[in-house]
Amino acid sequence: MKNTLSLLFYIKKSKANTEGKAVIYLRVTIDGQRAEFSVRRKVSVDRWNTRSGMAAGHGYESRELNRYLNSIESEVYKQYQKLLENEEHITAVSLRDTYLGKDENLRMVLEIFQEHNNEVNQLIGKDFAAGTAERYRTAKKHVGEFIQAKYKRNDIPVRDVDHKFITGFEYYLKTKRNCSHNTTVKYITNFKKIIRIAYANNWIDKDPFINWRVRLKHVERDFLSTEEIQLLMDTDFHTLRLEYVRDIFVFCCFTGLAYADVKKLTHDDIVIGIDGEKWINTERTKTKTKSNIPILPLALMIIEKYEGSNEVNHNRVLPVLTNQKMNAYLKEIADISGIKKNLTTHLARHTFATTVTLTNGVSLESVSKMLGHRSLRTTQHYAKILNRRVSEDMQMLRKKFRTEDNFSNSSSQSQI
């Protein structure tokens, strides 16, 4: 027997509040059986049209409320059609619970996301870095806020996620959250993993990301020049906390260590290399790859400066603060030094790749190994050949042509 569905919005005038406003309900009727729920909106009793089941009048508030009620009605019909397609036994109660996300057989988006994040938290330090776990938490928060803003609900069934949901979430991140293109792509990629989990577990019939195509935009990464590094080193900061942060930043400029790696660096990580000099031999926190770095004289001076210092604990090499504090103090350091660039702990890594190594003739392969990268392609995102290096190479070429007088003269004569 085919189910017959009817929907009706109504209010209970007898339960209106002191302001004369009553809660709006939606009554779902299937084959004579009823179920109802509040749509979480109120309306003035004298502005409700009982016959149409809508707000009366053409004012802005009435139009907005009616649009909201129409969206609910449309969503309920959508859920009804899905239940029909799945040949499920449909009752007024089951349809209501499906819409409200109370169906025990349904898996909910944020529920799955939280289960995933709980597993990631348990694997911090093993399979995941703390920063990765934080990004997944932030991604879940953004998805939850989007669901609330778009659907006025705390969660939705994962089977309701479609291409329109994904593009809507993308638009939400770029407009309401003011995220850049690349940041938006990263959050959606985090969410994509949750959908893939649902697909792999047969909680959804198809992957809604199959037609979603987007690429990260190339971003020119900043770095310090030799002159800016010198300016930073020559500046007197008068306070120890800024001096500590400056020293750690410069140390990273001359070793290429990321924040997480310099924070955990111990004296056990400093070894004698094949050349008889001191090297840093450590495992990258992010990728778990080995990183072997010869210690340059300036970096060694900073190590020796803090050797035996009371500010350094647990066999650590340097007094590293939290990343948040480091970046906050680096902004203060930039202001005092007169450096116009946005100093961050990661900018030091770019400076090592570009100004300290490649500009001075170190091969891309060697830089890649010191940075602990798995491929040269990753290193190329950090490394930029400066105009100064290009100029020096071309000066050598000019000198070569000047010394080859025969080539120059023969060319001139042939043109005559």
Residue by residue, DSSP assigns 267-311 as GGGEEE-TTSSEEEEEE-TTT--EEEEE--HHHHHHHHHTTT-TT
- Listed residue (352, 334, 337, 390) closest to 223, CA to CA: 352
Residue 385 has pLDDT above 70, yes or no: no
Residue 76, token pair as written in the block: 């309920």
- pLDDT over 70, % of the chain: 90
Overall average pLDDT of the 199-218 stretch: 86
Q: Residue range 203-218: average pLDDT?
A: 85
Query: Is it the case that residue 46 has pLDDT exceeding 60?
Result: yes
- What would the mean pLDDT of 66-89 be, rounded to a whole number? 87
Task: Say how far residue 140 (Cα) sits from the centre of its chain.
Answer: 11
**Residue 242 Cα distances to 105, 331, 332, angstroms:** 56, 10, 8
Residues contacting residue 171 through CB under 8 Å, at least 6 positions apart: none
pLDDT over 50 at 412, yes or no: no
User: Chain-wide mean pLDDT for the chain?
Assistant: 87
Q: Are 270 and 295 in contact (CB under 8 A)?
A: yes
Residues 6+ apart with CB under 8 A from 381: 221
- Rg over CA atoms, the chain: 32
Helices (H), 86-129: 92-100, 109-122
Confidence of residue 364 (pLDDT cuts 50, 70, 90): confident
Report pLDDT for 310. 78
Alpha carbon distance 35, 50 (integer Å): 19
From 71-75, 94-98, 224-228, the region with the lowest mean pLDDT: 94-98
Q: How confident is the model at residue 373 (pLDDT cuts 50, 70, 90)?
A: confident
Per the model's pLDDT, the better-predicted residue between 371 and 412 turns out to be 371
In DSSP terms, 44 is beta-bridged to 21
Residue 318 predicted with pLDDT over 60 = yes
pLDDT of residue 63: 94
Q: Would you say residue 397 has pLDDT above 70?
A: yes
What is the phi-psi region of residue 235: left when phi exceeds 0, alpha when psi lies from -120 to 50, beta otherwise? Answer: beta
pLDDT above 50: residue 294: yes
- The whole-number pLDDT of residue 323 equals 86
Segment 323-344 shows an average pLDDT of 92
